[in-house]
Amino acid sequence: MLGWHAVCTFIVKPKKQRTLTEAIINLETVNPIEFFGVNNSKFEILKRKFPLLKLLSRGSQIKISGQPDEVTAAQAKIGQVIQYLERNGHLSENYFAKILGDEEQDDVAAEESKDNDILVFGPNGRVVRAKTQNQKLMAQATEKNDIIFAIGPAGTGKTYTAVALAVRALKNKAVRKIILTRPAVEAGESLGFLPGDLKEKIDPYLRPLYDALDDMIPSDKLNYYMANRIIEIAPLAYMRGRTLDNAFIILDEAQNATDLQLKMFLTRIGASAKAIITGDLTQIDLPKNQKSGLIKASRILQNIDGIAQIKLDEADVVRHRLVKSIIRAYDSDKAREEELEAKREAQKD
């Protein structure tokens, strides 16, 4: 991703005394509206900070004119703003003013650390954050690893956090597309009896992915992304034979992928791709004669450099407060059944 310094053009105008300098800064790597603010509110803060300079906004460019040392100082501050926006996508007016001001670096760093939990900004000012410790670990793991396994019970935000990380990567131009996929396993329903064509039959299984995207991308832009295959949602079977490169790929509900399916998926990943595999090992819907590929994959791949595993638990549940109690009750019941089964097996011996 281009930094601000890569898109700045420094121009010294030939004048008789050559005392004035001009600089043009391009805002190609950030949203100009986020930089300038509503009704140019942030741009007015910038003008007040440098009253001796002439500052003009032209589309996605800023033209600065004035004494060389003032121009250089303004470029440095604007560069800090651009770098922050490249990382986070949003910047409040208060923090914009702080970056431009003379606050202590510790104060600025503390303010920035508060925003480090922000994953992406959605429509109407919606803020999507990593709310729990393990969700934060998921976000941190994507910085150092290309494949992440996020395993945990329902309600822990696995899918939602994964989609937010993918959207952030797309907005930051770290990837060219997002691919979201799930196994189309019949969890008690029969696809054959559902109405409509294949897409209409599959869509209910992919609904959680659509719901997450709706929270993070304006509907008109989401429709554009979908129509142009910048965001692609498809059943796992559609990944066979493809090379998934320059993409952020999410395999959701991976507990319902067989060993061969999961191996097929993992070997599709291209050199410039990232992938998050999410699953809940307590909700396997495969037939009894088939084993979940997620169990094996999480075991045999855990010590490979570049692959991280994040285990989420009831502490990460962000749904209704009763969901934690429900998960705890089912876990206790499962442990009791396993203990009884072990006793029965011991009696047989």
Q: What is the pLDDT of residues 111-139, one digit of tens each?
A: 554 556 778 877 766 778 888 889 999 99
Q: How many domains does the chain have?
A: 3
Q: Do residues 139 and 254 share a domain?
A: yes
247 and 327 co-located in one domain: no
- Asked whether residue 84 is assigned to any structural domain, the reply reads yes
Query: 88: which 2 tokens?
Result: 């986070």
Strand 147-151 with 274-279, pairing: parallel
Q: Which long-range contacts (CB under 8 A, 24 or more apart) does 332-341 make?
A: 334/282
Q: Are residues 313 and 323 in the same domain?
A: no
Query: Are residue 263 and residue 349 in the same domain, yes or no?
Result: no
Q: Which domain holds residue 83?
A: 4-116
Q: Do 80 and 143 belong together in one domain? A: no
Residue ranges for the chain with pLDDT beneath 70: 1-18, 87-89, 102-116, 124-125, 185-202, 318-321, 323-324, 349
Q: What is the pLDDT of residue 189?
A: 41
Same domain assignment for residues 221 and 105: no
Residues 193 and 301 both lie in one domain = yes
Residues 133 and 43 in one domain: no
Q: What phi and psi values does residue 123 have, to the nearest 5 degrees?
A: -60, 150
Coil/strand/helix, residue 143: helix
Let me know if residue 121 belongs to a domain.
no
Same domain, 240 and 327: no
pTM of the model: 0.64
Kindly give, in sequence order, each residue whose CB lies less than 8 Å from that of residue 149, ignoring residues fewer than 6 positions away.
276, 277, 278, 279, 294, 297, 298, 301, 307, 308, 309, 310
Q: Quick check: is 122 in a domain?
A: no
pLDDT at 188: 40
Residue-level pLDDT at 4: 52
Same domain for 284 and 139?
Answer: yes
CA 185 to chain centre: 26
Residue 219 covered by a domain: yes
Q: Are residues 256 and 296 in the same domain?
A: yes
What distance in Å separates the CA atoms of residue 269 and residue 264, rounded to the nearest whole number?
9
Q: Are strands 54-58 and 61-66 parallel, antiparallel or unpaired?
A: antiparallel
215 half-sphere exposure, CB direction, 13 A CA radius:
16
